[in-house]
Amino acid sequence: MQGVERDFFRTIRDAILSNPFGRTRQELDLVATGLPAETPLKEILERLVAKVGQHIHEVESRQVELAAEDRRLLEYGKLFYTFHLFCDAYDEHIRKQEVRGETCCQVVFARDVLSMLTGYGFSEPDALRLFALFFQMRRAYYFIRTIAGESRSVVGFRHALWNNVFTGDIRLYNDYLWDRMEDFSTMILGETGTGKGMAAAAIGRSGFIPFNPKTSTFSESFAKAFIAINLSQYPEQLIESELFGHKKGAFTGAVDNHQGIFARCSPCGAIFLDEIGDVSVPVQIKLLQVLQSRTFAPVGSHKVERFQGRVIAATNRDLTALRKLGAFRDDFYYRLCSDIIEVPPLRRRLAEHPGELRLLLEVTVRRILGKNSEEIVERVETYIERHQPSGYSWPGNIRELEQCIRRILLNNNYLWQQQSEDGSPQQLARELEQGECTAQQLLTRYCGHLYRLHGTYEEVARLTNLDRRTARKYILAAIEATKGNG
């Protein structure tokens, strides 16, 4: 290869290895095409793919033995070219599979990709793995892209999600880690309604799924690969059974065998433990044992089963505070946090980027109506700008914004949640400092605060050393007081 050509292929290598949600990728695409920055992304990519194809053709038609580095660079060029030629076909397949759900769809273009890769000199096993890796990359891109937003923190959030799937170096992922991700757990933190569930689904649906050339299908549907459970929904006695399953007759009411989510999760899948901050210490201990040994037994059974999927957990609770209080075990926390991803609150996003509200309105209105409507976006935006109390903090985040849009559509009216500091730990500390609190008020506030953190009367009673009925009385008084303020 000559100097300019080698530089071009180096840029292409760096482009395919880089995180598509980062700036570097966009810059590399521009460098490689020489197009001005304002060119639409679609056009840049089309031009680039054509240019890569042309360069591959030129190098190969010279029929000259290449030096080792050039051969490797050319290989990256071929991977880039094949991947991008089939991006639309992969997207079409993803959409089809989303509709079909858990049954695997045939991959109609598999032969074309595989024969292109083997024609380029990749061995058959390598071609099969690359074909599955391309599918994984496209899936991750497809699902992470649905997380809308242009603010700095959302751009960083998408970037972090991609790295969570492929690590910070996709070359190392491809060489060593693609089938060894099971111990990479993820903790997603963020306020209610910020999109933690959406992020978990994007990660969970983006695991590596091998391709089976005999059936011409991937070995499993990505729709089946992500299993979510909201742990705050289940009473203590049922959580274990939901997680690990139970045997018929294991307890009163266990009329049949029941498969828990750990048993349903495949090796290329992930389980999502939502509201992990709400589970009791005994359940944390059991979960920790399973995550350490990778084995579990259904309630009432001695049959040990193996779990191979990834674990994603999320909470809107303050885990640091819970850990200090002993309500969330440190060993469990460290088992869950190979990666910690923070989802930015809506107010930060709005403060960072002036166009963020408009963009979110466009996306949400499209979701509500099933189509775009400039008129409705305009109407909602005008209403929000005119009526939103200054400094409003959007405590319900995107979920609240969605309801706000619906309410404006229905009634041309939205009742902003009153912001009250009352009951916050800061307010309580101030009142204590100033000596303004009676013992009754103090207990009411403190129990209310603990209840917000832990969510059960039992836990508040345990932490305060009060009996359950007394704790409940103070909690109810705290809730009443907040209503009065709201």
Ligand X SMILES: Nc1ncnc2c1ncn2[C@@H]1O[C@H](COP(=O)(O)OP(=O)(O)OP(=O)(O)O)[C@@H](O)[C@H]1O
294's CB contacts (< 8 A; 6+ apart) are 182, 306, 307, 308
| Comparison of 82 and 456: residue with beta carbon closer to ligand X | 456
- Minimum Å gap between C-beta 219 and ligand X is 28
Cβ burial of 286 (10 Å; 0-12, 13-18, 19+) is middle
Tell me the β-bridge partners of 295.
306
The alpha carbon torsion through 197, 144, 346, 425 (nearest 10 deg) reads 40
Q: Are 216 and 106 in contact (CB under 8 A)?
A: yes
Q: Own/partner pairs for 424-430, CB < 8 Å, 24+ apart?
A: 424/449, 425/449
- Minimum Å gap between C-beta 356 and ligand X is 10
Residue nearest to ligand X (CB): 195
Residue 7 CA from chain centroid, whole number = 36
- Minimum Å gap between C-beta 445 and ligand X is 24
Q: Which residue has the tokens 């289940």?
A: 234
Q: At 32, give phi and psi (nearest 5°).
A: -65, -30
- Minimum Å gap between C-beta 52 and ligand X is 32
Contact footprint for ligand X (CB under 6 A): 147-149, 190, 192-198, 316, 363, 398-399, 402
Q: Is 471 left (phi over 0), alpha (psi -120 to 50) or beta?
A: alpha
Residue 229 CA from chain centroid, whole number = 14
Cβ burial of 467 (10 Å; 0-12, 13-18, 19+) is exposed
Rounded-to-integer distance, Cα 457 and Cα 448, Å: 10
- Minimum Å gap between C-beta 274 and ligand X is 6
Give Cα separations from 97 to 103, 223, 245, 452 (angstroms). 8, 8, 28, 40
Q: What is the DSSP letter of 338?
A: S
Q: At 19, give phi and psi (nearest 5°).
A: -70, 120
| Comparison of 19 and 316: residue with beta carbon closer to ligand X | 316
- Minimum Å gap between C-beta 340 and ligand X is 15
| Comparison of 258 and 406: residue with beta carbon closer to ligand X | 406
100's CB contacts (< 8 A; 6+ apart) are 221, 223
Cβ burial of 447 (10 Å; 0-12, 13-18, 19+) is buried
| Comparison of 195 and 245: residue with beta carbon closer to ligand X | 195
- Minimum Å gap between C-beta 50 and ligand X is 33
- Minimum Å gap between C-beta 193 and ligand X is 5
| Comparison of 53 and 455: residue with beta carbon closer to ligand X | 455
Rounded-to-integer distance, Cα 349 and Cα 356, Å: 7
| Comparison of 14 and 402: residue with beta carbon closer to ligand X | 402
Q: Which residue has the tokens 């071009």?
A: 8
- Minimum Å gap between C-beta 432 and ligand X is 30
Hey, what are 42's tokens? Answer: 């679609």
Q: What is the DSSP letter of 418?
A: P
| Comparison of 127 and 398: residue with beta carbon closer to ligand X | 398
Q: Are 336 and 276 in contact (CB under 8 A)?
A: yes
- Minimum Å gap between C-beta 416 and ligand X is 18
Residue 96 CA from chain centroid, whole number = 21
- Minimum Å gap between C-beta 72 and ligand X is 38
| Comparison of 148 and 405: residue with beta carbon closer to ligand X | 148
| Comparison of 52 and 199: residue with beta carbon closer to ligand X | 199
- Minimum Å gap between C-beta 97 and ligand X is 20
| Comparison of 29 and 278: residue with beta carbon closer to ligand X | 278
| Comparison of 144 and 450: residue with beta carbon closer to ligand X | 144
| Comparison of 299 and 404: residue with beta carbon closer to ligand X | 404
